[in-house]
Structures are given as C-alpha cells and as structure tokens.
C-alpha cells in the first residue's frame, strides 16, 4: 500500500449503456479519515461508489485498494478484501430477521475478529432487542442501523456510505454524525456520499466535489471552507 493511501482511483471511465457518467475521475482516500464526496444530483457520486464496489464496472481506469488492483472485481471479492458498502435506500433483506441479515454478512465478509456481534451490539443496542424481527418491520432509522451493522460485520477497513441520512429524523442524523466519528476513532476509514452538506462537512477531514462526472475539487476541509461559496455556487447549488 502506498504510504498514506488506502484507496486510489485513477482516470475512472464508467458508462450506463451509452451514457458516459464518470469522465476520468481520479482521487485518493487516506486511511483513518472521513472523506466526503459532494455534487449535484447526477454528478456521478453513487456511480463512483458502485464502480469501486464492482456493481457498475468501469470501462477504463484503475481502482487500487491497499495497493491491490480491484478494478472490475466482483462485489463479493471487494467486500472480502475489506470494503464495506451501505447503498442508498439501505437494501437490507426485508424478509430475513435482524440476526439472519447479520449472519449472512459475517459469512460473506473477510477474516477478522474486530466486529463481533457483541461489539456491534455496543454500537447498535436496539439490534439486540430486534434480533428476531423481520427487516421489513423495522423503522427507517433501525433499518439504517442494520445496514451499517451488516457492513461492519464484514470487518471493513473502508466503509462507503451512500446517503445514510436520507429519510432520517434530525435526532437520528445527529446520532449518525456521532456514529461516524466513533467509527473513525476505531480506525475505520469512511467514504461518504451525502446530500446533507452541513452534516457531511461537520464530520469530514477531506472533501471531493464532482461536477458532470469529473473531480473539480479535492482537498482538506480547511481548503474547502476557504473556497466554500465559490464551490457551492458553481457545483453544489440546485
């Protein structure tokens, strides 16, 4: 692994059919930090995460995780290498109970002892109470907790979160902020896609801004703050 780099994306070219969505996206994610990926709807944020995860394989460019080329590898391989992914809309298994959702992730994930069920329950005590409850019967906030817990059960070094605050009440958004900072304190690196810019910028160390499928800004949060009005006006305002 290159010094100071956990994930390296270079010249990513990703298409949906004939639509060219990512046009030469390049960036790095350092270990132990929270990096937020901002941009208008349609800028390519979700596609970037899906390309890394192998769900929408790119047609060009390279993705390296801990120095290993994972470009176009199957999602289960990327997961086992140490990349956790919580997609937009959570996508838990609604007909399985909480325990079954977590056990599936445990079996599919990489080797590790860090995120045992006991440890996960320290972070999400409500999941212990809901252990035999079907995923579909959980509240939106509980489903989001389960989705994040399921990703952690695979012992990730990098956790990618796509719009985790979507549909959550303000109190739960604040709890999500605290959770991300706790995970960072545990050494989990986070790549965050989030429309709630206030929340995202409050927890982030580094900022990436996408505009029309290309990275138009990459830098530490302090540098973003210096250029915030310009960047928001050009690339983030609706």
Q: Where are the alpha helices (DSSP H) in 82-232?
A: 98-108, 117-123, 125-129, 140-152, 170-185, 197-203, 221-226, 228-231
For residue 6, name the pLDDT band (cuts at 50, 70, 90).
very high
Specify the DSSP element, H or E, that contains 23.
Answer: strand 19-29
Residue 3 banded pLDDT, cuts 50, 70, 90: low
Neighbours of 230 (CB within 10 A): 10
Look at residues 43, 13, 10, 15 and name the one whose alpha carbon lies nearest to residue 27: 10
Give the DSSP H or E segment for 52: helix 45-53
Q: At what angle do helices 140-152 and 98-108 cross, to 10 degrees?
A: 20
Confidence tier at 101 by pLDDT (50, 70, 90): very high
SS3 129: helix
Mean pLDDT, residues 121-126 taken together = 93
Averaged pLDDT, 68-86? 95
Residue 12's pLDDT is 97
Q: Which of 9, 36, 7, 6 is nearest to 22 (CA)?
A: 9
**pLDDT at position 110, please?**
66
Beta carbons of 2 and 8 less than 8 angstroms apart: yes
pLDDT, mean over the chain? 93
Mean pLDDT (whole number) for 140-149: 93
Using one digit for the tens of pLDDT, what is the confidence trace for 38-66?
Answer: 999 999 999 999 999 999 999 999 999 99
Looking at the domain that runs over 1-82+157-238, which CATH code has it been given?
A: 3.40.50.300
Q: What pLDDT is recorded for position 1? A: 47
CA–CA gap between residue 18 and residue 149 (Å, rounded): 36
The average pLDDT across 171-175 equals: 92
Residue 91: pLDDT over 90: no
Q: Which pLDDT tens digit goes with each residue over 195-233? A: 899 999 999 999 999 999 999 999 999 999 999 999 999
**Is the pTM value of this prediction over 0.85?**
yes
Distance CA 44, CA 218 (A): 15
Residue pair 6/65 in contact by the 8 Å Cβ criterion = yes
* Domain positions in the chain: 1-82+157-238, 91-155
pLDDT of residue 2: 47
Paired residues of 36 in beta bridges: 192, 207
Distances (CA, A) of 198 to 95, 133, 201, 232: 35, 33, 5, 12
The predicted pLDDT at position 238 comes to 56
Percent of the chain with pLDDT over 90: 85
Taking each helix axis from N to C end, the angle separating 140-152 and 170-185, rounded to the nearest 10 degrees, works out to 10
38 versus 113: the higher-pLDDT residue is 38
Residue 176, SS3 per DSSP: helix
Percent of the chain with pLDDT over 70: 97
């Amino acid at each position: 692994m290159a010094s100071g780099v956990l994930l390296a994306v270079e010249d990513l070219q990703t298409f949906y059919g004939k639509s060219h969505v990512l046009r030469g996206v390049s960036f790095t994610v350092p270990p132990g930090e929270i990096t937020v990926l901002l941009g208008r709807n349609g800028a390519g944020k979700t596609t970037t995460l899906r390309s890394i995860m192998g769900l929408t394989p790119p047609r060009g460019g390279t993705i390296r995780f801990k120095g290993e080329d994972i470009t176009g590898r199957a999602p289960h391989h990327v997961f086992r290498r140490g990349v956790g992914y919580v997609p937009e809309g959570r996508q838990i298994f609604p007909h399985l109970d909480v325990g079954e959702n977590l056990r599936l992730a445990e079996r599919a994930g990489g080797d590790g002892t860090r995120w045992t069920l006991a440890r996960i329950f320290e972070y999400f005590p409500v999941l212990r109470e809901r252990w035999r409850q079907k995923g579909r019967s959980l509240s939106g906030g509980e489903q989001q907790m389960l989705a994040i817990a399921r990703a952690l059960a695979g012992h990730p070094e990098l956790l990618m979160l796509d719009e985790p605050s979507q549909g959550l009440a303000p109190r739960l958004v604040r709890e999500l902020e605290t959770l991300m900072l706790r995970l960072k304190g545990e050494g989990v690196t986070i790549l965050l896609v989030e429309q709630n810019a206030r929340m995202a910028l409050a927890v982030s160390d580094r900022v990436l801004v996408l505009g029309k499928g290309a990275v138009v800004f990459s830098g530490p949060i302090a540098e973003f703050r210096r250029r915030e009005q310009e960047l928001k006006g050009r690339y983030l305002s609706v």
